[in-house]
Structure 1
C-alpha cells in the first residue's frame, strides 16, 4: 500500500462509483462498511511523479506515432480501441480530465487500495491481497487490447479507475444484440472525498463523448450496472444513456445502458 495521510471518516460515506459506472448506493452491510472506510489523500510526491510520467507518456506516444506514420506513409496502425493512450486530455464540467493507461508497477498499490474499500469491493470483488488486483489488471495488459485499464486523472490527480473495452468482443455480447465496435465503460471513483459530488455523471458523459470523438467507427457506448443499483442507473441516465433492456449476466441481473452517437446532442 502506498504511504498516505489517513483519517477515519466517522460519518456515512457517500456511495462510490463502481464497475457499474456510477454511484451504486448502499449495498449489504453498508452502514457497517461506511464506518470502516478510510478517506485517504494521495501523497504530493505520488501526484508529482504521476504528472511527470503522464506528460512523458503523452510526448513519447505522440513522437512514436509521428515516426510510424512517416516511415509507413500512412497513419499509425490502430489497435482494437483506437489507441486509448493517445486520446489525450479533455475538458469536463468538473475539471480537466485525462484517461491514462495503467502502468502496473506505478499504479497497482493505488488501485488495490481502492479495491479494498468495502463499498467498492461489494461490486468489483477484488478485495484482499494486491495479487488479486494485479491478476485482474495483468489479464487486460497482457491481452490483445480489447480492454484497456486506465486511471482517470482529474486536474492532475488520479481519482478514478476505468476500463474501456470492446463490448462486441466481450462475453457481454452474448447477452444483448451487439453491434460492431460497441464500446463498454466500467468506472469506479476511488476515494470517499470524491464521491457523491456529481463526478460520476459528468465524467461518464465526457468519456462517452471522448469515445465518439476518438472512435469514429463506434456508434454506441454501453454499460451494465446492477439492476438493483438505482443510483447507478440514474447516473447513466443523467449522462445521456438510455435504459435498453434487463439482461441476465453470470454474476448479476443488469440494466443494459446505451448511449447512441446519433443522440449525443439530444440526451
Structure 2
C-alpha cells in the first residue's frame, strides 16, 4: 500500500494561488535494408546507401522534444513544447506508467484547470528524488508520509514503483510548467487497500502532497484533486471510481477531498492508520 494520503487544506478561495517557492516548502501526505530472404534471381544487385545528411535528419526527427529542453537547462522538458503546447514531450515516455495497468499515465497529457494548465509527469528518481525529498522533510508532510530523512529514503520508496509492474505510478504535478506537488496514481483494486473495503475492478487510488507552504490552505488542493480525479475517469474508461484513504486525523485532507467532489464512504482500519475512505463515482461526477 502506498504510504498515506496527502493533506491538502480546505479552500477559502479556489482560484487564488501563490506561486510555489523553490525551497523545501512541502505539503502533507501516504514502462533498412533489403530482406536477405528475398528472391535472388538477378545476378547484379545495386548497393544503395542513404546520404549522411539524410540519416542525420531522420535521427533528429526521432528525438523526444523534451531531450533538447533538458540539454538547454529545462529538466522537465517543457522548453520546446510547453505544457499544453504543440506536442506533449511526455506522451511517448516509455518509463514509469508504460504498462497497461493504469492506461499509460505518462501519456495522459495536460488538463486545463481553474488555476492553470496541469500535467502529471511520471517521476524519474535520478532527476526528481532531491525535490521530493525536500518536500518529505517538511514536518507537516513527515507527520503523515513518514518519509523524512536522507534522500535515499525517498529513493527507496520510489524505486519499487518505478521498477514495478505499473500498478502504482509516482508523478510530479506540474502546474504552468512548475513542479509543485507529488502524486501517486495506483490501482486500488490491486493494492493491499483492497483487503479493507469492497473493491471493484479498476478502482483507481490517489495520494497527494502539495510542495510549497504557500500553496496550502487556499483551495488549490481541492481544485487539483477534482481535476485529476476527472482526468483519471476520462483516461481510464474501465474505471468507475476514484478512491482515496486519508488519515482521519488529517482533517484538512478529508475536507479537501469532500470539496473536490468525493463522498465519504466509510472508516477503514489500515495497518498504519484509521482512514476515511473517500470515493468519487463516475456516475455522480456531474452532481458532486
Q: Shorter chain as normaliser: what TM range?
A: 0.7 to 0.9
Change (3 A) 1:19 1:203: farther
Q: Deviations over 1:189-238 (max 9, x none)?
A: 01112112211100000000000000000000000011122221111111
Does the CA-based 8 Å contact 2:246-2:276 persist in structure 1?
A: yes
Task: State the alpha-carbon separation in 2 of the partners of residues 47 and 197 from structure 1.
Answer: 31
Q: What secondary structure does 2:186 align onto?
A: strand
Matches within 5 A, 1:184-195: 184-195=205-216
- 2:200 aligned to 176, 179, 182, which one? 179
Q: Which residue of 2 aligns with 1:104?
A: 125
- 1:119 aligned to 126, 130, 140, which one? 140
- How far apart are 1:112 and its partner, in Å? 0.6
Change (3 A) 1:261 1:118: same
Q: What secondary structure does 2:154 align onto?
A: helix
- How far apart are 1:48 and its partner, in Å? 3.2
Q: Which has the higher contact order (CA 8 A, sep 6+)?
A: 2
Question: Normalising by the residue count of structure 1, what TM-score does the alignment of the two structures yield?
Answer: 0.77
Matches within 5 A, 1:237-256: 237-256=258-277
Q: What secondary structure does 2:143 align onto?
A: helix
Which of 1 and 2 has greater Rg? Answer: 2
With 176-185 and 189-198 compared, the bigger mean Cα shift is at 189-198
Q: Which residue of 2 aligns with 1:214?
A: 235
Q: Deviations over 1:136-166 (max 9, x none)?
A: 0001001100000000000100000000000
Change (3 A) 1:239 1:217: same
Structure in which a larger fraction of residues adopt strand: 1
- 1:41 aligned to 22, 26, 50, which one? 22
Question: Normalising by the residue count of structure 2, what TM-score does the alignment of the two structures yield?
Answer: 0.72
Does the CA-based 8 Å contact 1:22-1:236 persist in structure 2?
A: no
Task: State the alpha-carbon separation in 2 of the partners of residues 154 and 63 from structure 1.
Answer: 19
With 173-182 and 193-202 compared, the bigger mean Cα shift is at 193-202
1:58 and 2:84 correspond: no
Does the CA-based 8 Å contact 1:21-1:185 persist in structure 2?
A: no
Change (3 A) 1:236 1:47: farther
Give the unaligned 5+ runs of structure 1.
1-17, 26-38, 65-76
Give the unaligned 5+ runs of structure 2.
11-19, 24-69
Task: State the alpha-carbon separation in 1 of the partners of residues 79 and 177 from structure 2.
Answer: 11
Change (3 A) 1:145 1:236: same
Task: State the alpha-carbon separation in 2 of the partners of residues 132 and 207 from structure 1.
Answer: 27
Change (3 A) 1:119 1:22: closer
Q: Which residue of 2 aligns with 1:158?
A: 179
Q: RMSD over aligned Cα, in angstroms?
A: 2.7
Aligned length: 224
Task: State the alpha-carbon separation in 2 of the partners of residues 236 and 88 from structure 1.
Answer: 23
Task: State the alpha-carbon separation in 1 of the partners of residues 156 and 6 from structure 2.
Answer: 21
